[in-house]
Chains A and B, each alone.
Chain A
Amino acid sequence: MALSKKTKEAFLGPLNVNNPVLVQILGICSALAVTVQLKPALVMGISVTIIVAMSNVVVSLIRKSIPSRIRIIIQLVVVAALVTIVSEVLKAFAYDVAMQLSVYLGLIITNCILMGRLEAFAMTNDPLDSLMDGLGNGLGYAWILVAVAFVREFFGSGKLLGYQIIPDSWYVANGGFYENCGMMLMPAMALILVGCIIWAHRAYNDKEAK
């Protein structure tokens, strides 16, 4: 199946040049909150991707019958239903992670990326494009989360996905020289890391544009 140029653009754009976190600076709050470890960041990224994609499709399907005066309420109902489903599924099958994500799972409903995509894209485009746009934005958000969480967990705890990567014998407590960087565990460092990614992203894309 050959996708049209617009459909491709809807998917690829948000991954790089039109990234919701890097360019539109949306969804920063949860990027700070859930990126201390890689696992919750991965789950959060996947959850948001599924919810954005599904809500985009649903809203796009019913977009012509939504009265414009109450469209926000209807969008919220759709998103709330999906968030509830995802959080119930996570509680059933991945209880630890659901507990680690705590309120942030429920707060996906307030994630700026969701309402932004529904308003800006799903209300005016057909379901296939909306699906692609939702997937693109969700994954664009997810890779930032994973990148930040990778650095924070590796340097902050010496682990990845909960497995010890830096050998125990390196630590000062065991007679070595190494020490985890506690700064990485603080939300401030997540903001600085996101800033660094934005810095690199702009520098690279400016060079491309020239």
Chain B
Amino acid sequence: MEKFYKAWKEFGKNFEEGGKWAKLSSFYDAFDTFLFTPNTTAKRIGAQIHDGRDSKRTMILVVLALVPAMLFGMFNVGYQHLLATGQLEMGMTSALWWKAFGFGLLAVLPYIIVSYAVGLGIEFVVAQIKHEEVAEGFLVTGFIIPLIVPINTPLWMVAIAVAFAVIFAKEVFGGTGYNIFNVALIARAFLFFAYPTHMTGDSVFVRTGSTWGWDAGMAAVDGFSGATPLGVLATSTDATVMPVDFWTAFNGLIPGSVGETCGWAILLGACLLLITGVASWKTMLAIFGTAALTAFLFNVSGSDTAAANFPWYMHLVTGGLMFGAVFMATDPVTSARTECGKWIYGALIGFMVIVIRVLNPGYPEGMMLAILLGNAFAPLIDWCVVRANINKRMKRA
């Protein structure tokens, strides 16, 4: 390690002022800090609010927490493909298992590459223009974006959405740490409003065609639907329709965006985030609690639409609610910062997501819009909490 460190620093001299590659110094710097800084820990003396945590380390933890959801998502992409093309009619074999994973890997990988290439490209260019270090924020954003888009979204649309989100949701606000809205969700919202036919409907969430020519010529079997559970709810005229049962939805072998379907993979990530203290359990709990309560109220309200009659516990495991609550609403930059504010912020999101799902038939899923709305109100919530606290202490004095 010592040797590598020395060689790396020696290599770094090329990037100093007047060196061979001085113009590319921000590249070197990015990798340098990524690998080696900060190599300090919190001092043992005095009172510390938290550990000597660096945001790059925090970001890596979030990426690690996302890995189970992504691996499962890849498998599910392949699994849904096999299911749709009728290859699973003879039952699952280990060969088919690997085929499912390989197919999903090849299908998802281009999205990850495009997302990182476009986003980091813009980050590097902006950092070079502003003579700043490359900020680490895109590590997580670039990883989340492939997980929240349908698997059939054309790659060039993803590229445009990523560029739009990074420039207009992040760089114009001042870069990493200054954005008001979650960048990955802005990318998704852009896709949702710009190319609605590629973001909703029955044909976008399951790949029935080929991936890089693999399984070319396969077609969907008769009677194949491809609709997500929430998609079925939104279009159904039968008020008691039950597209999926709880454990199937929780296990995640259902159509949906790549990373959002599997409950236990997301909860695994949530455990890592909570143990390391990266994400706030208050935000998560508030979202789940309020969403369940709101959905329960709709259940008992006697409304006759399918979405209102969808049991409250089913709302929690379908769509993007879990993924959003664990990975996106807890984003430390865009969520409320005050401890009391996190409860209010989470409750607002949990309430809105169910209201959008149930009351607006045009939007089968409401998590994206609910979180963006929560982001917009987060500063106001913080301000009110701080004011209330000041007033309380003034009275005490």
Contacts and interface: CB of A to CB of B under 8 A. Distances in A.
Q: Do A and B come from one complex?
A: yes
Contacts of A177: 154, 156
Contacts of B197: 179
Nearest to A192: B168
Contacts of B195: 179, 181-182
Interface string B189-202: 01001111110000
A156 B157 CA distance: 14
B193 A186 contact: yes
A182 B198 contact: no
Interface in A57-99: none
Contact of A179 (B157, B168, B193): B157
B194 A182 contact: yes
A170 B376 CA distance: 38
A181 B168 contact: no
Contacts, number: 22
Contacts of A25: none
Interface string A139-181: 0000000000000000000000000000000001000010101
Contact of A182 (B154, B156, B160, B193): B193
Interface in A183-203: 183-184, 186, 192, 199
Contacts of B168: 192
Question: Which among B154, B193, B196 has the highest number of chain A CB atoms within 10 Å?
Answer: B193
Nearest to A183: B194
A91 to B, nearest CB: 34
A184 B190 CA distance: 10
Nearest to A177: B154
B198 A179 contact: yes
Interface residues of B, number: 13
Interface in B148-178: 154, 156-157, 160, 168, 172
A183 B189 CA distance: 10
Nearest to B194: A183
Contacts of B194: 181-184
Question: Which among B154, B168, B194 has the highest number of chain A CB atoms within 10 Å?
Answer: B194
Contacts of A179: 154, 157, 195, 197-198
A184 B194 CA distance: 7
Contacts of B157: 179
B154 A183 contact: no
A179 B153 CA distance: 11
Nearest to B160: A181
A199 B172 CA distance: 10
A183 B156 contact: no
Contacts of A183: 190, 193-194
A26 to B, nearest CB: 22
Question: Which among A179, A183, A199 has the highest number of chain B CB atoms within 10 Å?
Answer: A183
A14 to B, nearest CB: 26
Interface in B186-216: 190, 193-198
Contacts of B190: 183
Nearest to B196: A182
A192 B186 CA distance: 14
A73 to B, nearest CB: 41
Nearest to B168: A192
B153 to A, nearest CB: 10
A46 B328 CA distance: 47
A181 B154 CA distance: 13
B389 to A, nearest CB: 35
A190 to B, nearest CB: 14
Contacts of B196: 182
B207 to A, nearest CB: 15
B55 to A, nearest CB: 28
A9 to B, nearest CB: 33
A47 B197 CA distance: 37
Nearest to B193: A183
Nearest to A188: B193
Question: Which among A172, A179, A186, A199 has the highest number of chain B CB atoms within 10 Å?
Answer: A179
Contacts of A172: 154
A182 B193 CA distance: 6
Contacts of B193: 182-183, 186
Nearest to A186: B193
Nearest to A173: B197
B93 to A, nearest CB: 35
A192 B157 CA distance: 19
Contacts of B172: 199
A186 B157 CA distance: 18
B157 to A, nearest CB: 7
B197 to A, nearest CB: 7
Contacts of A184: 194
A131 B229 CA distance: 64
Interface string A87-119: 000000000000000000000000000000000
Interface of A: 172, 177, 179, 181-184, 186, 192, 199
Q: What 5 pairs between A and B have smallest CB-CB spacing?
A: A183-B194, A181-B194, A183-B193, A182-B194, A179-B195
6 contacts: A177-B154, A179-B198, A182-B194, A182-B196, A183-B193, A199-B172
Given A179-B195, A186-B193, 13 more contacts: A172-B154, A177-B154, A179-B154, A179-B157, A179-B197, A179-B198, A181-B160, A181-B194, A182-B194, A182-B196, A183-B190, A183-B193, A183-B194
Interface of B: 154, 156-157, 160, 168, 172, 190, 193-198
